[in-house]
Amino acid sequence: MSHKFKMKVNETSRGLQAFLGSKYVMIVDPSPNYRNSLKQFMLNLKMKNIRCVSSVKEARRAMLTLPIGLLIVEWIGSEENGLQFHRNLSREKKNEMIPFLLLSGENQRQDIILASEVGVISYLLKPFSFETFVEKISALLNEVTNPNPTKQKLRNGFLAIDEDELLDARDLFFEALRLDPKSAKAYSGLAHVELKQQNYPKVINNLKKALDLNPSFLEAHRLLLDVYEKTQNHDGMMEQASLLHQESPENPKYTLILATLYLKKKQLNLSESFFRKTMQLAPSLADSYKGLGHIAVERKNFEKADKFFQKALDLDQNDVSTLNSLGLTYINLGRFSDGLQKYRQALSLKPNDHRILFNIAQAYEKQEDKKSAYEYYKRCLMEKPDFDKASRGLTRTKTDSP
């Protein structure tokens, strides 16, 4: 150990002792080797009050009785990972100010960006040396004892949002922008304020300003995708989902969105590719099979559609959309009795759905049962009076009605 580094260790040790007092250092890592190494590092820094646990669940239990002054937490976790743990603690008054060092074995740019977005101020990649560990602990101590004023404004702004104090939150984010006009997170905060008030144009405007300053701001991209979804902006959804899929190719949420959007655009080959990718990533998700069923219907391959819709129904037995689609498939296969059975099953779950009523009417009309068709067209128009196709169906079948 060099003389210079020894001085650094002693300085960090004194700083930690002064900051922690009698409080504990909590080490949370599923690996016994890393727990032991980190404990030894802390002993080297002359820390005595150290608690090592293997999971966030154990950490929460220990925190009920131990005063914690520093948390060192592995990213990976089965029920609640390190990042979720940090986010949840930051919303708890008694724990929100505990310094937090996040560990990860994944050297991925998007992980580092994501950690910084939710307020993690110190992030350490495995494997690391004692020297690197000391540097991180020293920097973390400096951050919590001499906090950046912009970051404090941002932190207090997001806490104000959690308390529904939106005027205070807006003021805090504007103050952060006065301190740092290039703060992408301040614009993101303003977007969250507007989102609480459902002012979607202002949400979008603030998120775009945030992304102009930091194009890699994934939280802003995700929120923009959610807003575009709420406002049915399909082009915006496509742009954001494509970008997020590039950053997180194993996330089935983005593959499913892309698959669905390509289906709407009738780009069936691309849609099928993304539905199949979603199926690989999330085998128990019924939407993938349902989407492939709709593609088969578009291609007039009703036998294949039947198989996909049946699989979707196995995964979600009470999905009205799948029951309705399966009924339509059976009608196209000439299996009128089976088709009507599925329609009625769907209607029992959603009695006022005009689309199901219309499909039943069409099925009866195809069987030349104009009396029944007329009744269902009439019921359909009661639910949706401006449905032109139902109006024309009612006119066609009226002559034979009582």
For position 13, which CATH number holds?
3.40.50.2300
288 touches 282 (CB < 8 A) = yes
Give a yes or no: residue 265 inside a domain: no
**pLDDT over 70 at 28, yes or no:** yes
Sheet order of strands, 50-53 included? 50-53, 24-28, 68-74, 100-104, 122-125
Q: Residues 321-363: pLDDT tens digits?
A: 999 999 999 999 999 999 999 999 999 999 999 999 999 999 9
**pLDDT over 70 at 93, yes or no:** no
Report d(CA 134, CA 364) in Å as an integer: 77
Q: Residues 368-384: pLDDT tens digits?
A: 999 999 999 999 999 99
Give a yes or no: residue 321 inside a domain: no
Note the pLDDT of residue 40. Answer: 94
Tokens representing residue 31 in the block: 């690996």
Question: What percent of the chain clears pLDDT 70, i.e. is strictly above it?
Answer: 90
Question: What percent of the chain clears pLDDT 90, i.e. is strictly above it?
Answer: 68
Give a yes or no: residue 236 inside a domain: no
Report d(CA 252, CA 382) in Å as an integer: 39
Give a yes or no: residue 280 inside a domain: no
The residue from 146, 168, 190 where one domain ends is 146
Number of domains in the chain: 2
Domain encompassing residue 88: 3-146
Model-wide pTM > 0.85:
no
Give a yes or no: residue 127 inside a domain: yes
For 140, counting Cβ atoms within 10 Å of its Cβ (0-12 exposed, 13-18 middle, 19+ buried), the class is buried
The sign of the dihedral angle between the CA atoms of 260, 261, 265, 271 is negative
Give a yes or no: residue 279 inside a domain: no
The residue from 107, 128, 146 where one domain ends is 146
Give a yes or no: residue 73 inside a domain: yes
Give a yes or no: residue 324 inside a domain: no
The residue from 126, 146, 166 where one domain ends is 146
Tokens representing residue 308 in the block: 């996909």
